[in-house]
Amino acid sequence: MNLLKKFAGDRKNIKFSIALKATAIYTSMFGLLLAATVGFLSWAITIRAVHMRHLDSVASMVEERLKHGRGQDFDFDAFAKANKVYIEIRYEHEGTTLTFGKKPGGKGNYANTVRSIDRPCRKATVTVVDCESISIAGNISATGFLVILSALLLVISISGALLIRKMMRPIYNMTAAARSISAKDLSRRIDTVHSNDELKELAETFNGMLDRIQASYEQQKRFVSDASHELRTPLSVISGYANLLRRWGSEDPEVRDESVEKIVEETENMKQLVERLLFLARADQQTQLISFERFNVSNLIDSITEDTKLISREHAVVSEIEPGVFLTADPALIKEAVRAVLDNSMKYTPPGGEIRISCRRGPGCVEIEIVDTGMGIADKDLPYIFDRFYKADAVRSRGTKGSSGLGLSIVKWIVERHSGEIRLESKLGSGTRFTFIFPDTRNTETTERPA
């Protein structure tokens, strides 16, 4: 039973090409037509042979009667009618002809046999004609055969058309799907269950293309929606403080200073958001340039660490930098990635917490690590932390200013374009560890190319 199920399953996976199917269809049609022709001809020949044997038997009996002079007491007319034949006896010396039975009419090709009787006193020629041979072996083998052949050709043509239509169904479905696709509905797909040939591959490729188009379109819609939402917040804040400044700013210096400070702060947040949106737009269009060069990454990380200490005096910023570590990469983008992670560490690490930055050589690679003792990331948020505009629940509830959910998306893009790897370890309430691993290609040439 299991073998039968396995065989049935294997049969479903067998792939038949269109050429093989078409060859099988036309071979079957030709074979059926040839078999019908041969069969019908064989039948007609057999029927004619049966009638010829019957004629020979009748002719032999007539010949026997005449040879032995027993024709006078024999009723040839009744004999002819009983055997459905026409008998003609022609006496050569006398020039007389005797006929028995009903003579066939028309110009049909009747089966007949002729016997010569050579008697000393009376020579005769006997002709026996089968009255039915024209209707069975003649009419049927000619008119009937043409009718049957025409009907067979019609059946074969219809069957072939249906089979070809079934084979071409995926193309018809693709045409209908292509016509029905619009920005409002990208969910249409082609059924590939009933096909297992090149058309199935074409349909699967078409479905895959639609999947990518739909995913890209939905991603674009989410991007526009999320970007609009993120821009709405600073614009609302700026508008609110501008109205407050217009109403009370001239009378209350405290209101004026607070409003100006908030407007500047939100303007900076909006500027940063727009810059990141433009960065990701260039990345999606593969127009973001990457300038690879050999540089001292130890010095770069040391400079970033010093800047961080000046910016975030409320955190203990510690560095562990191995001197003389070189890397072939884009220094500006590496700096952008490290700063983006450090910004998150400063935002989500409480005052007095520690932020540790390290840079070291690895086996065939360079490792940059940032560890903090901040709020950490929940397990359920880890798979989505690099998605655009994604914010963990803890971040949303905390209401952290300046968090757009784009920083880590940019970090991931930068690391991947350098053929690197990001390792993320985090536990809610204990802190987070980011590790960048870049391959050390030791290429000293400076190159610039679009990502």
The pLDDT tens digits of the residues spanning 44-80 come to 777 777 778 887 888 888 777 777 766 667 787 888 7
Relative to beta strand 112-118, strand 421-427 is: unpaired
Residue 270 and residue 327 in one domain: no
Residues 225 and 374 in one domain: no
**Looking at the structure, do residues 365 and 442 belong to the same domain, yes or no?**
yes
In this structure, is residue 273 part of a structural domain?
yes
CATH number at residue 275: 1.10.287.130
Q: Which has the closest alpha carbon to 125: 64, 63, 80?
A: 63
Query: Does residue 220 sit in the same domain as residue 340?
Result: no
In a domain, 173, yes or no: no
* Residue 175 placed within a domain: no
* pLDDT at residue number 7: 43
* Residue 419 pLDDT greater than 70, yes or no: yes
Please give the Cα distance from 64 to 70 (Å, whole number).
Answer: 8
Q: Which of 250, 249, 278, 252 is nearest to 263 (CA)?
A: 249
pLDDT at 343 over 60: yes
Q: Confirm if 125 and 94 have CB atoms less than 8 A apart.
A: no
- Looking at residue 173, its pLDDT comes to 75
Higher pLDDT: 302 or 121? It is 302
Q: What pLDDT score was predicted for residue 444?
A: 46
CATH number of the domain to which 429 belongs: 3.30.565.10
Residue 7 lies in a domain: no
Residues 122 and 206 in one domain: no
Contact 178, 189 (CB under 8 A): no
Residue 179 CA to residue 173 CA, distance in Å, equals 10
Query: Which domain, by its residues, includes 269?
Result: 182-285
Would you say residue 5 lies in a domain?
A: no
Residues 250-287 have pLDDT tens digits of 777 887 888 888 888 888 878 877 887 788 778 777 78
The mean pLDDT value of the chain amounts to 79
Do 267 and 346 reside in the same domain of the chain? no
Neighbouring CB atoms inside 10 A of 451's CB total 18
Alpha carbons 105 and 109: distance in angstroms, whole number: 11
Whether residue 161 has pLDDT greater than 80: no
Could you write out the DSSP letters of every residue in 23-52? HHHHHHHHHHHHHHHHHHHHHHHHHHHHHH
Is pLDDT above 80 for 326?
A: yes
Same domain flag for 186 and 152: no
Same domain for 35 and 115, yes or no, is yes
> Where a domain ends, among 257, 285, 313?
285
Both 139 and 199 in a single domain?
A: no
> Taking residues 367-392, what's their average pLDDT?
88
More confident residue, 136 or 116: 116
Provide the number of structural domains found in the chain: 3
Task: Determine the Cα–Cα distance for residues 440 and 212; give it in Å rounded to an integer.
Answer: 34
